[in-house]
Structure 1
Amino acid sequence: MSSSYFPQQRSSYDLYQGDVADTLQLIGDRYIGHQPKQPFVFRASNTSGFKRSSDYRYEINVDDKIGQIEDGHHVYAWAKLWCEEEEVRAFRLSCFGPTRIYLNGQSVYRSNIQEDVFPDRASWFRLTLKRGWNHFVLHFIKTGTGCGCRFGTGSIKGHPFHFIVPTEERGEQEGWIYTLPQAEELAVIPNENTSEEDTGLDWLPRQAWTQEEQEAGCFARTLGTEQGRVAWAWSKLSVSALQHSEAAFTGIHHGSIAIFIDGDLKYSSDHSGLFSIRVPLAFGEHDIAVRSVCTETRWGFQFTSFPGDIHLSAPVTVHGYHGEWLIAGTFDPSCTPDIRTVCTLDTVFQNDEGGTYWRADMPNTFVRPFIETTHYGRWNYPLGVTLYGLLKTGTALERNDYAQYVLDHIELCTSYFVYSLWDKIKFGAAGVNHQLSAIDSLDDCGSFASTMLYAYEYKKLKGAKETADHIADYIGGVQDRLSDGALYRVHGSTDFMQDTMWCDDLYMSTPFLCRYYQLTSDRSYLDDAAQQFLLYKKYLYMPERKLMSHVYDFKFNQQTKVAWGRGNGWVLFSLTELLEVLPDDHAMRDELLNFFEELCEGYLAQQGKNGLWHQVLDMHDSYEETSATSMFIYAFARAVRYGWLKTPDPYVSSVMRGWEGICRTSVDHFGNVYGVCRGSGYSFSPLYYKDELDWNLNDTHGIGIVMLAGIETLHLQKHLQQTSVSA
């Protein structure tokens, strides 16, 4: 059947008649315009609150926090969650005792007697969230089994969200607040217009210092008073005057002190006392950092006078924190960061306690970055191929803005890689790089990391080499393999995925292995990539159809025998990445070239009348699918250019028909991409793929692949022109 995604007069073809450069820029401009660069969001996070566990649910164990709760007493936890638009989200709940959930003041869930006594079981359900803030109140009743629950996302990789403290008094810190035990139920459930004061209750964790703590000094109250330990504080000076010849500051300190402005030492003293500084400051912002050593029971500093046209503020906006200084420590004097490295937000500072990061000047409160965008700054496999397409397009069309966008996105991830590993250990689940920091499958690493290494050739991205080494170690030594070395899935996000091999995983592994070989010159990675194709052929190839089965299920010891379009596309796409770098004298090259040509014959035979391939390749009444089409175009075009096909002419025609089909059918005149199959499960029935696995608009599984198809079409056009001229 033919898919009518939009009227033909609204197609990109109607605008540009298939011109590759114009079409690619239409898609690229739309994508970046809808997904602009945004930094991570920094929030105060109280370590006395409830942490998320590895499944990104909050461990709301009230017994552990409060202790000695009388049976029958009530405890409430309260938080909010933001939604850009009304949507349905999945949640999971495990109960330690009777639990009720209120959403925006309405009761939406009540545990049953079975859930109350099996805390290791999880109930999965969906809730409709409104646009804007959604307030959640959890009501727990203490019984002999416990008090509290595990609650949070039902989609770890799709929606690893974090909750926000709900009241104005706390200013959007991360996490939950909770009550002390109450003898009676609350008459009114808190909601979006409720303040802490309105409830008449004391909410934990506490956020204010006692008078005694205030007087102890900023370092003492946040870090303790172990003699000889070192700490840093960091803030920003903002000068509003256009001309400022000299600024004067005075203050008091306890413990030794060294004050730096823009990296230069301006004052130091080994003894507690008053200080005074006079320095010239130009218009704009300046880093001010204070290094101190604990020498007495009071430890800290305070500025007592400031020029009126100079403003002091935290180096970054920290939601839920109104203080001016970030604090880091403590350090042994022999391993203290110096002024050249301390004023940064993407670094875990090494110390003899497993590392540390910036804190707020509040009880038990760290500053933490969180990813709160849908695309920019995230690490996942569809975005890996999206960015690959954008970067290749930026290079080919000399769109430096595209290339810089991609480099900045990737470096935002890699520069926080080490931090995210530390954050996961410290807080249970990282606020950024959630898939990278908790790799448990090839999906989490290979696709994005392959693009990362491609980008690394343009710029030595901060943290990229360390990230690549970590991923190579995972694929080589952690990811499950069969006895013959084939990569496969022992575990899965759902039970039915266990003990399976997916043809998709060739893309999630082999392009990275090829690029890591190029980075390190270690031939074993290239050999592994080559071997994987032959092993996957052994399990998944259907020679009578010259197509690949989507999955081999070892629970049944058989192929599913469904030729899913995108799964097959990943195979051919990835094989071109391997063949491009595989030496001519490699022992497996001839066998891989023969396999490639057989697959190409099988795929060529399945191209539809409109130039596109179908969701199930050999079921032409399934919908015309854009991402698979794009990958076959990409692979065929490369094969012609590199001379991998004995009879290239049919494939040239196929590429041109396919690209015109995409421009007519899949890309509208705003640059929206249609007909991309959503993320898949698998089935032995082709009807699952045909009727249930539908397509999404502007799905990142397809945007970059369409761009890659266009770039290879453009390269092929130039190649044919050059060949014709030379002939």
Structure 2
Amino acid sequence: MTTRNPYFDPEESMARQTDGTSVEHVLTTMAQKYIGDHPMHAPVYRVSRKQPIRKGEDHRYVFPGDVLFPPGTTGRKAYAWAKLWSPEAQTFPFSITCLGPVKLYHNGEKRFGSSKDEEGAAAQPLRLPVPLTKGWNHFVLELERGAGAVFGTSNRKNFPYHFLVPSVDRDGEEGWLYTRPTDDPLPGIPAMSVLEAATGAEWLPERDPSEEAAEGEAPGADVFEARPERLYGRRDGYAAYAWTEIDGRLADGEPLALQGTAYGPIRVQLNGVEVLRQNRPGDFRVPIRVPAGIADLVVRSECGSGGWGFRLTGASLAGKLRTPRRAAGAKEPWLYLGPFPAADAVDITDYLTMDALAAPEGEEPFYWRTASPVGFVRPFLENERFGKWNYPLGVTLYGLLETGKTLGRPDILDYVARHVEFASSRFAYSLWDRAKFGAAGINNQLSHVDSLDDCGSFGALSLLADRAIRPLKGVREAAAHIAEYVMHRQDRLEDGALYRKVGVSPSMHNTMWCDDMYMSVPFLCRFAEASGDPSYVSEAARQLLLYKKYLYMSDKKIMSHVYDVAAGKPTLTPWGRGNGWVFFSLTELLTVLPREHDAYPDILRFYQELAEGYLALQGERGLWHQVLTDPESYPEASCTSMFLYGFARGVRNGWLAPELPYRKAALAAWEGLCEAAIDKRGNLYGVCRGSSFSFSNHYYKHELSWNLNDTHGIGIVMLAGVETMKLLEVLGSGRKKEQTIG
């Protein structure tokens, strides 16, 4: 008797639709849904100030007591205030370390007060659940003299939250406000954004006079002055760039007059075309015609005997200038980049994409900034998924890439390429950003690699996209960084097996996870191809055979999820997706491992043994279960897809004999996914969320639940569909454009 589908009514299933088991139809529906749900938004550019409160490497903000309570001050308390956006009402576990007495207020209400045994230099981080409201959430910390605190996210890898300055005066900036030491309590705990003066307190860091002056100007002000010496000092023989955007929609197609005074040699570009070059100080005037839309106006100013900079006058441009890329928190419509040696040949258009770090030879690297000496522009990733670098998204994009190739959909391939390049093009910048500001606002994992999860899966996908779609900026540099980490810095046992000496929590220290085969093997295979060095493929084979030694359950021909190095034994828990990662990785290796390679017979035998074990455990509707050996655990979509993928590849490549049982199992699995895991809207059910580990199957069955549209499964299901299409083509079943099974 077939049990009821635990996820949705059969009428809602993809399989009940006219083309419900047409692989092409399912892939199209799922791909379009994912792309529609996650549009290609650019980074958000925000101003960050040079100030004492900044992020540490764990993405929590450090509130240094010695700086907030400087010598010579007498107040006993200091306050810090910031806000955080939440897209939905949720309880989020924050983390706080109390180096002294601390109180935390959320939306005006006290949420936490430290006790003596929670305070001090040796204090441990405390987990602090806070019920966030949908929208803005205001946080205030009350600190006592001589101490400080560390506060922020408890999950730097998945939720590297950055807080924003909460006042109306500095709307859009990243960071915190804080008070001078005081003996008086705040007149009221702020619970909403208001003018700083309305709080009855004076807030630091102090604003630069230029910002206050800019704020006081009328929107149509007809005078603007750029003085690079305020940012860089007098630098004879150097040049800097000032950049603004002209809103051509307000120009009515009429010529505009660019006029003013240059304090040194200047050059002016409009949309990359030089419209003025003046090699001496003095007045200038040139008519410009701005095309419809937004135009980039860039002024190169060189430091000469009379200084550098320029002054614009006249009403022609008044009200038509805006801050480039809508940099939030900037008070003037100009951003600055420099200083470059004047003799350098600089193509400034290379930097208008805002993904490049300027690094002139012999100079410290730099990036865009505001007119304030303490104002720095930084990109922040605020999309839920697009542009993010993490391992589940590496698999998701792999599925989209293969779907785009198989269906002949350049739009899908372009989406994949742009997601990858969002991250890879900013790789060098993100390393600099982390070094300068404590933690990067973008590429939080790629800029701080300390595990295979951080780098291998997405790194493998990025190399594939770079080869299969188009060359992508930064991919090769990021891949070299990852290869160096995997080969030389990732922890290993004495026999060379990769393992997790330090996990994301103490309970995960000194463990070996079968998941890590997917986090390493596909990347090593792709990097071998990209670098032309076959030793990386040999390393991939070695790792799989080492993991077999530690995690293979020979009686069942399946894998244990984790090996506890400290205990010296495997957990013997047959988690579905963990097994799927190993099986998937074996097929990735077998497609590139030469048959004459010494390890080939052992790798093929390992694959065949696992295939036999998984075949015996296939459940109802063709699906496999969360706990492979427990048919009462929920049917799990991601492991089902990986076993389908592995079987279909094996049949196509002649790795399995006899092949008929595996062919039937693969086709049954696809039907099962369409009937019980994919609904008619392309939603995916039954994908296990990210896991911890346990020696007990109870954890996997009852505590490790599934998520809707989890990125651990979306790409895998699409890859399974692609392999199903290829299998059907080999078998000659159905037409290419209307592959149907059943």
- Scaled to the shorter chain, the TM-score interval is over 0.9
Q: Distance in 2 between matches of 1:433 and 1:369?
A: 10
Aligned-residue offset at 1:217: 4.8
Partner of 1:576, secondary structure, is: helix
Letter paired with 1:192:
M
1:254-282 per-residue CA deviation (whole Å, 9 max, x = no partner) reads 23322222333333334433222233443
Structure-2 change in CA distance of 1:365 and 1:212 (3 Å): closer
Counterparts of 1:64-213 in structure 2, within 5 Å, are 64-65=67-68, 67-68=70-71, 70=73, 73-118=76-121, 120-142=123-145, 146-209=146-209
| Equivalent residue in structure 2 for 1:256, among 248, 253, 265 | 265
Structure-2 change in CA distance of 1:201 and 1:353 (3 Å): farther
Q: What stretches of structure 1 of length at least 5 have no aligned partner?
A: none
Q: Match of 1:267?
A: 276
Letter paired with 1:592:
I
1:134-177 per-residue CA deviation (whole Å, 9 max, x = no partner) reads 000111121xxx23211100111121110011111111210101
Check whether the contact 1:546–1:599 (CA below 8 A) recurs between aligned residues. Answer: yes
Q: Match of 1:381?
A: 391
Check whether the contact 1:196–1:202 (CA below 8 A) recurs between aligned residues. Answer: yes
Q: Match of 2:459?
A: 449
Q: Distance in 2 between matches of 1:355 and 1:193?
A: 35
Q: Distance in 2 between matches of 1:303 and 1:291?
A: 14
Q: Match of 1:493?
A: 504
Aligned-residue offset at 1:339: 3.4
Aligned-residue offset at 1:77: 0.6
Aligned-residue offset at 1:3: 4.8
Aligned-residue offset at 1:185: 1.2
Aligned-residue offset at 1:540: 0.8
Letter paired with 2:415:
Y
Q: Distance in 1 between matches of 2:20 and 2:349?
A: 55
Aligned-residue offset at 1:49: 4.9
Q: Match of 1:671?
A: 682
Q: Distance in 2 between matches of 1:109 and 1:8?
A: 48
| Equivalent residue in structure 2 for 1:693, among 700, 704, 719 | 704
Aligned-residue offset at 1:211: 10
When structure 1 is superposed on structure 2, of 277-286 and 477-486 the one drifting more is 277-286
Aligned-residue offset at 1:90: 1.5
Identity of aligned residues (%): 45
Aligned-residue offset at 1:513: 0.7
Q: Match of 1:36?
A: 39
Check whether the contact 1:236–1:312 (CA below 8 A) recurs between aligned residues. Answer: yes
| Equivalent residue in structure 2 for 1:438, among 443, 448, 454 | 448
Structure-2 change in CA distance of 1:357 and 1:309 (3 Å): closer
| Equivalent residue in structure 1 for 2:619, among 593, 608, 632 | 608
Partner of 2:320, secondary structure, is: strand
| Equivalent residue in structure 2 for 1:307, among 309, 316, 325 | 316
Structure-2 change in CA distance of 1:283 and 1:195 (3 Å): closer
Q: Distance in 2 between matches of 1:152 and 1:536?
A: 37
Aligned-residue CA RMSD (Å): 2.3
Q: Does 1:661 align with 2:663?
A: no
1:642-683 per-residue CA deviation (whole Å, 9 max, x = no partner) reads 000121000011011111111111111111111100000111
| Equivalent residue in structure 1 for 2:596, among 582, 585, 598 | 585
1:275-329 per-residue CA deviation (whole Å, 9 max, x = no partner) reads 2223344333332212223336854222112526982222210111131111012
Letter paired with 2:505:
T
Counterparts of 1:408-557 in structure 2, within 5 Å, are 408-457=418-467, 458-557=469-568
Letter paired with 2:283:
L
Aligned-residue offset at 1:610: 2.1
Aligned-residue offset at 1:225: 2.6
Q: Distance in 1 between matches of 2:213 and 2:672?
A: 70
Structure-2 change in CA distance of 1:291 and 1:723 (3 Å): closer
Partner of 2:609, secondary structure, is: helix
Letter paired with 2:577:
R
Partner of 1:522, secondary structure, is: coil
Structure-2 change in CA distance of 1:104 and 1:276 (3 Å): same
Partner of 1:240, secondary structure, is: helix
Structure-2 change in CA distance of 1:191 and 1:512 (3 Å): same
Q: Distance in 1 between matches of 2:68 and 2:234?
A: 25
Structure-2 change in CA distance of 1:368 and 1:668 (3 Å): same
Letter paired with 2:309:
G
1:57-79 per-residue CA deviation (whole Å, 9 max, x = no partner) reads 01111432551265662111110
Aligned-residue offset at 1:81: 0.4
1:170-190 per-residue CA deviation (whole Å, 9 max, x = no partner) reads 112101011111121123111
Q: What stretches of structure 2 of length at least 5 have no aligned partner?
A: 215-223, 737-742
When structure 1 is superposed on structure 2, of 255-264 and 367-376 the one drifting more is 255-264
Check whether the contact 2:393–2:458 (CA below 8 A) recurs between aligned residues. Answer: yes
Q: Distance in 1 between matches of 2:193 and 2:166?
A: 10
Partner of 2:337, secondary structure, is: strand
Q: Match of 2:238?
A: 229
Letter paired with 1:37:
M
Q: Does 1:558 align with 2:558?
A: no
When structure 1 is superposed on structure 2, of 323-332 and 65-74 the one drifting more is 65-74
Partner of 1:125, secondary structure, is: strand
Q: Distance in 2 between matches of 1:242 and 1:513?
A: 54
Q: Distance in 2 between matches of 1:541 and 1:3?
A: 31
Structure-2 change in CA distance of 1:417 and 1:211 (3 Å): closer
Q: Does 1:393 align with 2:403?
A: yes
Check whether the contact 1:386–1:704 (CA below 8 A) recurs between aligned residues. Answer: yes
Letter paired with 1:318:
A
Letter paired with 1:34:
D
Q: Match of 2:740?
A: none
Q: Match of 2:381?
A: 371
Letter paired with 1:554:
V
Partner of 2:169, secondary structure, is: coil
Aligned-residue offset at 1:18: 1.7
Letter paired with 1:563:
P
Check whether the contact 2:99–2:148 (CA below 8 A) recurs between aligned residues. Answer: yes
Aligned-residue offset at 1:191: 1.5
Q: Distance in 2 between matches of 1:248 and 1:184?
A: 55
- The alignment covers a number of residue pairs equal to 722
Q: Match of 2:293?
A: 284
Structure-2 change in CA distance of 1:211 and 1:151 (3 Å): closer
Letter paired with 2:689:
R
Q: Distance in 2 between matches of 1:703 and 1:19?
A: 17
Check whether the contact 1:206–1:363 (CA below 8 A) recurs between aligned residues. Answer: no
Structure-2 change in CA distance of 1:212 and 1:84 (3 Å): closer
Q: Match of 2:48?
A: 45
Q: Distance in 1 between matches of 2:317 and 2:266?
A: 24
Aligned-residue offset at 1:232: 1.4
Letter paired with 1:355:
P
Aligned-residue offset at 1:37: 1.3
1:521-571 per-residue CA deviation (whole Å, 9 max, x = no partner) reads 101111111111111111111111101111111100011111110000000
Aligned-residue offset at 1:10: 0.8
Q: Distance in 2 between matches of 1:25 and 1:328?
A: 44
Q: Distance in 2 between matches of 1:264 and 1:119?
A: 59
Check whether the contact 1:3–1:624 (CA below 8 A) recurs between aligned residues. Answer: no
Partner of 2:527, secondary structure, is: helix
1:475-499 per-residue CA deviation (whole Å, 9 max, x = no partner) reads 1111111222211111111011111
Letter paired with 1:388:
Y
When structure 1 is superposed on structure 2, of 540-549 and 208-217 the one drifting more is 208-217
Q: Distance in 2 between matches of 1:482 and 1:97?
A: 40
